[in-house]
Amino acid sequence: MGKIKTIGILTSGGDAPGMNAAIRAVTRGGIYNGFNIKGIYRGYDGLINDEIKPFTTENVSGIINRGGTILKTARSKEFETPEGREKAYKNIQDEGIDALVIIGGNGSLTGAMIFAQEYDIPCIGLPGTIDNDLYGTDNTIGYDTTLNTIVECVDRIRDTAQSHERIFFVEVMGRDAGFLAQNSAIATGAEAAIIPEDSTDVDQLQNFMERGIRKSKKSCIVIVSESPKCGALYYADRVKKEFPGYDVRVSILGHLQRGGSPSARDRILASRTGVGAIEAIMQGQRNIMVGVRNNEVVYVPFADAIRSDKPFDRKLITVLDELSI
């Protein structure tokens, strides 16, 4: 790999508020430092199908406050195959792209890691996911906005829960991580959070019913982290069967958690990591994610960033338990 002149940028996987701010930062930071920038549309599918266009500062003007991603995004099945990645690399060569910046979550960075192992192309990742499950960065782009969206929704649901004396199970996103559920539960004064990190042999629902609702409250909020096996509907059905005296409702917040204008925190995080990606390329870094830890920009190898054991502060569980009496 010779001197890097042109950088390609793409967004992949689920959209997250702040992705546009990251696109803007990479584009403007790259142009400021003398690079050519090319935008790749629709994630890795865009690499395979050659949906690539030159980017200028005008392309990213006025987007820092917009949710979603102007580059569009997709989950690419074809890129998971060696043949798909071969097509992608050929288009990279034809377009004269010397390095890639990938904004996305666990799956997107896994794809970048595999691609970089197979071909001589520096890949730099930015942590763009609402789940906050990437290792090595305190927060991911989109997490703060989504957390605030959940809090706003749950505050409204509580009005109804109290008026009708109901138990509401509110399901939030997070994939295999409970950061959104636990922290939104604390922020909204919820009575309980059911999260993957607390999945012990102890029945979380039984504990909650015995400790809280059965003693003192007719209405309450329980935040449940999404799960294909035991989400909010599962727990609501159990309460209806095991504790038939309670009026139970379910609210699955769904995709409204992804949208909306990014918070100031997410705009700043996206801007810092976007500029950090350009700095990393200039330093000769490759195959790393740019994150922020303890307010310092850090470089995290892909293999570490995609680990599934990001530390979860179990003291947060204690905080919620003590405040939900």
pLDDT value of position 169: 95
Helix (H) / strand (E) containing 172:
strand 167-172
Residue 316 domain flag: no
12, 135: one domain? yes
Which residues are annotated binding-site positions for ADP?
A: 24-28, 158, 189-191, 215, 217-219
Q: How many domains does the chain have?
A: 2
Residues 6+ apart with CB under 8 A from 149: 253, 256, 257, 259, 260
Confidence of residue 200 (pLDDT cuts 50, 70, 90): very low
- Confidence check: pLDDT of 245 > 90: no
DSSP SS3 for 54:
strand
Each residue's pLDDT tens digit, 37-75:
999 999 999 999 999 999 999 999 999 999 999 999 998
Please give the DSSP secondary-structure letter assigned to residue 262. P
Does residue 131 have an active-site annotation? yes
Q: Report the alpha-carbon distance of residue 215 to residue 121 in Å, rounded.
A: 61
pLDDT exceeds 90 at position 217: no
CATH number for the domain that contains residue 282: 3.40.50.450
Q: List residues forming the annotated binding site.
A: 14, 24-28, 75-76, 105-108, 129-131, 158, 166, 173-175, 189-191, 215, 217-219, 226, 249, 255-258
In this predicted structure, the answer to whether residue 84 has a pLDDT above a threshold of 80 is: yes
| CB contact at 8 A, 301 and 182 | no
Q: What is the CATH number of the domain that holds 148?
A: 3.40.50.460
What gap in Å lies between CA 325 and CA 314, rounded to an integer? 18
Binding site per annotation, positions for ATP: 14, 75-76, 105-108
Structure confidence at residue 202 as a pLDDT band (50, 70, 90): low
Q: Are residues 212 and 234 in the same domain?
A: yes
Q: CA 281, 286, 291 angle in degrees (round to 5)?
A: 80
Distance between CA atoms of residues 312 and 121, nearest Å: 34
The packing angle between helices 143-164 and 264-282, to 10°, is 160
Q: In this structure, how many other beta carbons lie within 10 angstroms of the beta carbon of residue 53?
A: 13
100 and 22 in a common domain:
yes
Which residue among the candidates 131, 133, 198, 266 is catalytic per the annotation? 131
Helix locations, 65-178, DSSP H: 82-94, 106-118, 143-164
φ, ψ dihedrals at 176, nearest 5° = -100, 15
- Measure the CA–CA gap between 102 and 125, rounded to whole angstroms: 5
Provide the residue range defining the domain that includes 34. 6-142+262-305
Give the residue ranges of the annotated binding site for substrate: 129-131, 166, 173-175, 226, 249, 255-258
pTM for the predicted model, two decimal places: 0.94
Tell me the pLDDT tens digit for each residue of 224-237.
Answer: 999 877 889 999 99
